[in-house]
Amino acid sequence: MFLIPDSVGKFFHRMASPPHFYALTEKLMPWLVTLFLLLLLSGLYGGLYLAPPDYQQGDSYRIIYIHVPSAWMSLFIYVVMAVAGAIGLIWHIKLAEIVAISSASVGASFTFIALVTGSLWGKPMWGTWWVWDARLTSELILLFLYLGVIGLYGAIDDKRSASKAIAILALVGVVNIPIIHYSVEWWNTLHQGPTVTKIDKPSIHISMLIPLLLMAMAFKVFYLIAMLQKARVELLQRERTSQWVKKMVLEQMR
Amino acid sequence: MTLQTFFAMGGYAFYVWTAYGICFVVLLANILIPIKQRKQFLRQQALKQKRQN
């Protein structure tokens, strides 16, 4: 690969080596956790305490600080999962397969949180826990896609074939992502339209926007932490017969 | 703002705090479960190696 600088190529080559990945993620973890807590605490302080109540929705709108970042993460993680799955499918990189399956449970969790917090927000504001509106329905389908990926992976014993199967399922499900994103514009129902992603003129006050973005960043870092934790277990289980895992187990016994 | 009015959330305390509570529990589980699984795996492998020796 003459287009990629040698040092960069070396970095990725080493990252894709399982023992190096395992050791590096262990070293990285305290930094990620610190960053996550800083973002989380400042986001919560800004969102729950500093930001004023909404002029229409009162304090109930404060659910936005977990609802919207979770919903963003549910889409973002799905794309990461599909891309990692595709990389695993094409180049047979084991670590990409592991990132794909390790993302699925975190993505499912964020989708679940987006649905439940949306429901808890909808009840006082819309007067109902649930409507079969386009946004809610497509997000529910996303949850089923995640659960399908997790179930399919668990059902196939050979984890390399299982990874191929879930990569294909994830790639097919990508169709749902733009549907979720544009659902509030294509079908005008109960769910409100976008307030933040209108780059030219977001219809949200700066004192509410900053904590929202802080929470979004906190959730991104959280995804990294949770996905890496899951990836380390997956890696150990897949590499159980390899020398580096055996050596580590031996060191643990002492 | 007193602590009481803060927790009352303008009458929406149930909805707001349930949402935050569920979010917290689900996210925490995403960290604790893999850590537990990893420890369990290492313990099992250690036992296996002991039996082989």
Tens of pLDDT along chain A (254 residues)? 456 677 777 777 766 788 999 999 999 999 999 999 999 999 999 999 999 988 889 899 999 999 999 999 999 999 999 999 999 999 999 999 999 999 999 999 999 999 999 999 999 999 999 999 899 999 999 999 999 999 999 999 999 999 999 999 999 999 999 999 988 888 877 787 777 665 556 678 888 999 999 999 999 999 999 999 999 999 999 999 999 999 988 887 76
CA–CA gap between residue A121 and residue A143 (Å, rounded) = 19
Q: What does the pLDDT read at residue A200?
A: 59
Q: What does the pLDDT read at residue A1?
A: 46
**Is A232 an interface residue toward B (CB < 8 Å)?**
yes
Number of Cβ within a 10 Å radius of residue A236: 21
Asked if A120 lies within 8 A of B19 by C-beta distance, the reply is: yes
Q: B-chain residues within 8 Å CB-CB of A253?
A: 46, 49-50
Q: What does the pLDDT read at residue B53?
A: 74
Asked if B30 lies within 8 A of A59 by C-beta distance, the reply is: no
Residue A58, classed as helix, strand or coil, is strand
Q: What does the pLDDT read at residue A202?
A: 60
| A49, A233, A250 ranked by CB distance to B37: nearest | A233
From the list B27, B4, B7, B25, the residue with the least C-alpha distance to B17 is B7
Number of domains comprising chain B: 1
| B9, B26, B35 ranked by CB distance to A59: nearest | B9
Nearest CA in chain A to B8: A59
- The answer, yes or no, to whether ipTM is higher than 0.90 is yes
Give residues with Cβ within 8 angstroms of A223, minimum separation 6: A73, A76, A77, A103, A106, A110
Average pLDDT across chain A, whole number: 91
| B15, B30, B49 ranked by CB distance to A226: nearest | B30
**Is A138 an interface residue toward B (CB < 8 Å)?**
no
Nearest CA in chain A to B31: A226
Residue A139 · residue A68 · CB < 8 Å:
no
Number of Cβ within a 10 Å radius of residue A44: 18
Minimal C-alpha gap between B25 and chain A (Å): 10
What global pTM score does this model have?
Answer: 0.92
For A19-44, what is each residue's pLDDT tens digit?
Answer: 999 999 999 999 999 999 999 999 99
Bridge partners of residue A58, in order along the sequence: A54
Question: Which residue is associated with the tokens 């990620």?
Answer: A32
Domain that holds residue B32: 3-52
Nearest CA in chain B to A233: B38
- What structural domains and CATH numbers belong to chain A? 29-253 (1.20.120)
Q: B-chain residues within 8 Å CB-CB of A45?
A: none
CA–CA gap between residue A24 and residue A6 (Å, rounded) = 20
Minimal C-alpha gap between B31 and chain A (Å): 5
**What backbone torsions phi and psi does residue A197 show, to the nearest 5 degrees?**
-75, 0
For B6-47, what is each residue's pLDDT tens digit?
Answer: 988 999 999 999 999 999 999 999 999 999 999 999 999 999
For A184-201, what is each residue's pLDDT tens digit?
Answer: 888 877 787 777 665 556
CA–CA gap between residue A130 and residue A149 (Å, rounded) = 25
